[in-house]
Amino acid sequence: MRALTYTSFLGIACLVLEIFNLRKIVVPVVVIALLAILGINFTEWNGSSVSFYNDMLRADNFALAFTGLLIVTAAGLVAMSGSFYDTEETKLADYISVIVFTLCGGIALVSFSNMAMLFIGLEVLSISLYILAGSKRRDIRSNEAAMKYFLMGSFASGILLFGITLVYGATGSFNLAQIALYASGPGVDPIFVVGVIMILIAMLFKVSAVPFHFWAPDVYEGSPSLTTAMMATLSKVAAMAAFYRLFSVSFVNNFSGFAWILSVVAALTMLVGNLTALNQDSFKRMLAFSGIAHAGYMLLAIMSLYQNTANALFFYTVAYTFASLGAFAIGISVMKRRKSEKIEAFNGLGKSNPFQAVALTVFMLSMAGIPPLAGFFAKYYVFFEAIKTQHLAVVIVAVITSAISVYYYFKLILAMWTKDSEETDAPAGAISYIAIAAICLIVTLALGILPSLVPSINQVASK
């Protein structure tokens, strides 16, 4: 778990660089440092599950794998922030340090083994995001987004805290292992069940599942695009992993009732997310609803909770993260050039910037689950696990909505390839955007051809 320590230091170091007026080198320094931390993170891979700080955190394969994914995502986001904040250079280091702190929250979320750590991780992540959502201070929409996010988020935090308290009241412990012991014992107190439900609801809010999703589209649309990218990737993946970790360790024995709730929620999420995305004409809003729908697919993995589903979930998050990150990289650079967030802004991209158009097409197809791209296997594994655990009805909904989703992904693809733009000049985007899109493209293609490249994390969270 050295990654968490180093990342925290890195966040502070950013602020120090600012003090010494070394703003220019902050982006490369942070990216390189993050990659170094990534390396350090994987030196612990496949070791036995080690606990830290009186079992507050636990480094097992699950935690390390997700930590790795989060670090890569954060590195990509930081790399893009250099040219994204080019109008607000003076605050660049601040923003980057907030991004790094968000990563800290994320790492805590995927490796906690104590409820206190879960709460701290979630709050660090959320508060950083509230700040970032409002980081375009003069933009009224950015302010609105931050405000909405904060209001709804604090509501959810309250519910989470309440739930944790109730669980503590019943079990007398914050420790996941202790709670699991209690949960598997005889005579579970109703208070405990109520507590678990409140935690469940809070987690559903964080992953923007229906009917707790309402914040997502508004916040995604209003926030600066880079923050939107962060919410869609880093924050969603971290919350989803925390959700899985919590339930797979502590509540797995009381799960049958919750699985039913989750299957209804997952089905609703997929339906509402995909159907609402159909009519969107804003790129960011479309991706927000698509992100809600993807949360529904990921819930399938949590719903069919057992050993292998961690693998399915991890594969899904990897495929989804890279496709989203790549799509945002190109999306941001196009939206910035054309000064519009509408899908029409992508008209004619196929002619003016063929590489970007090809890459974005691949990302969209991967999200739609078209073989042989990563997204296809992601869906395949998740569906496969769900069928194995007798959730056929939800999988049918998932397949149908997945077919529906092709419509809106193709809306963007058609705009790029079949429509002409009025604007003739098409300067290429910043090099960092193109590089990130290229990396995401390679990963998306490679995982589609060789899905076995993603390591198995079968040594699931500690028991």
Partner 1 sequence: MLTIYLLILLPLAGFLINGLLGTKLSKGLSGIIGSATILGSFIISCMYFFGLVGGAAPTEVKVFDWISFGNIHINFGILIDQLSALWLMVVTGIGFLIHIYSTGYMHDDEGFQRFFAYLNLFIFFMLLLVLGNNFVVMFIGWEGVGLCSYLLIGFWYKNQDYNNAAKKAFVMNRIGDLGFLIGMFILLYNFHTLDFNGLKAAVAGGADHHIIFWATLFLFIGATGKSAQIPLYTWLPDAMAGPTPVSALIHAATMVTAGIFMICRANFLFTLAPETLHIIAIVGAATALFAATIGVMQNDIKKVLAYSTVSQLGLMFMALGFGAYTSGAFHVVTHAFFKACLFLGSGSVIHAMGGEQDIRRMGGLRKWMPITFGTFLLASLAISGVPPLSGFFSKDEILAHAFEHNKVLWVVASVASLLTAYYMFRLVFLTFFGSFRGTHDQEHHLHESPMSITLPLVVLSVLAVVGGVIGLPPVTHMTHWLSHFLAPVIPAVTEGEGAEGTSMELMLMGIATVLAFAAIAWAYARFVGKRTLPAEDGQLTGLGSVVYNKYYVDELYNLAIVKPLLAASEWGYTVLDKIVVDGVVVWSGKLSLMTGKQLRQIQSGNIGFYLLAMVLGIVGIFIYVLTYLQ
Contact residues toward partner 1 (CB under 8 A) are 148, 151-152, 155, 159, 190, 193-194, 197, 200-201, 205, 211-212, 214-215, 217-218, 257, 260-261, 272, 275-280, 404, 407, 450, 452
Smallest gap from residue 453 Cβ to partner 1 (A): 10
Phi, psi of 234 (to 5 degrees): -55, -55
Rounded-to-integer distance, Cα 320 and Cα 275, Å:
19
Smallest gap from residue 345 Cβ to partner 1 (A): 20
Smallest gap from residue 92 Cβ to partner 1 (A): 31
Q: What is the dihedral of CA 296, 298, 302, 305, to 10 degrees?
A: 130
Q: Is the peptide bond before 372 cis (omega within 30 degrees of 0)?
A: yes
Q: Give the H or E element holding residue 303.
A: helix 283-303
With left for phi above 0 and alpha for psi between -120 and 50, is residue 462 left, alpha or beta?
beta
Q: Which of residues 40 and 268 has its CB atom nearest to partner 1 in the complex?
A: 268
Specify the DSSP class assigned to residue 426: -
Smallest gap from residue 282 Cβ to partner 1 (A): 12
C-alpha Rg value of the chain to the nearest Å: 21
**Contact in structure between 217 and 291 (CB atoms under 8 Å):** no
Specify the DSSP class assigned to residue 428: -
Q: Which of residues 271 and 364 has its CB atom nearest to partner 1 in the complex?
A: 271
Smallest gap from residue 190 Cβ to partner 1 (A): 7
Q: Which of residues 64 and 156 has its CB atom nearest to partner 1 in the complex?
A: 156
Is residue 46 packed enough to be buried (19+ CB in 10 Å), middle (13-18) or exposed (0-12)? exposed
- CB neighbours of residue 109 within 10 Å: 31
Q: Which of residues 47 and 211 has its CB atom nearest to partner 1 in the complex?
A: 211
Q: Which of residues 177 and 261 has its CB atom nearest to partner 1 in the complex?
A: 261
Smallest gap from residue 212 Cβ to partner 1 (A): 5
Q: Which of residues 205 and 346 has its CB atom nearest to partner 1 in the complex?
A: 205
What's the CA angle centered on 81, arms 80 and 87, to 5 degrees?
Answer: 125
**Contact in structure between 455 and 384 (CB atoms under 8 Å):** no
- CB neighbours of residue 452 within 10 Å: 8
Q: Which of residues 337 and 391 has its CB atom nearest to partner 1 in the complex?
A: 391
Q: Which of residues 274 and 366 has its CB atom nearest to partner 1 in the complex?
A: 274
Smallest gap from residue 272 Cβ to partner 1 (A): 6
**Contact in structure between 267 and 283 (CB atoms under 8 Å):** no
Which residue from 306, 320, 314, 331 is spatially nearest to 376, judged by alpha carbons? Answer: 320
Q: Which of residues 32 and 400 has its CB atom nearest to partner 1 in the complex?
A: 400
Smallest gap from residue 169 Cβ to partner 1 (A): 18
Q: How far apart are the first and last CA of the chain?
A: 18
Residue count (the chain): 463
Q: Which amino acid is at 228?
A: T
Residue showing tokens 């000049």: 425
Can you give 253-265 as a three-state secondary structure string?
Answer: HHHHHHHHHHHHH
Smallest gap from residue 205 Cβ to partner 1 (A): 7
Assigned token pair, 131: 């700040």
Smallest gap from residue 257 Cβ to partner 1 (A): 5
Specify the DSSP class assigned to residue 460: -
Q: Which of residues 110 and 271 has its CB atom nearest to partner 1 in the complex?
A: 271
Smallest gap from residue 390 Cβ to partner 1 (A): 18
Q: Which of residues 204 and 226 has its CB atom nearest to partner 1 in the complex?
A: 204
Rounded-to-integer distance, Cα 33 and Cα 251, Å:
37
